[in-house]
Amino acid sequence: MPQKVKLTVSIDQDLVETLDEMSRKSKKPRSRVVQEALRLWRRKHVHDKLAEGYRAMTEDDRESAERHLPAFREILK
């Protein structure tokens, strides 16, 4: 199990209220809610980077296909 580290942060009051509400509704301590939120943020960040990479690959594949299309047409004649 990863080692836990205590830290102090300052956040806006409206986020504290949201945190408290989420903590109360989920019956989880604040620290657990924050931990889960950070993990979700990290997962989304990784997902967004992967999606960006796949979009770039798709564009490269399309450009390559267009470059080779005349040769493919010659082969199919």
For 45, 58, 65, 76, the CA distances from 40, given in Å and listed in that order, are: 9, 27, 37, 50
pLDDT(32) > 70: yes
pLDDT of 77 higher than 70: no
Q: What DSSP state is assigned to residue 2? A: P
**Mean pLDDT, residues 40-59 taken together:** 83
pLDDT of residue 25: 97
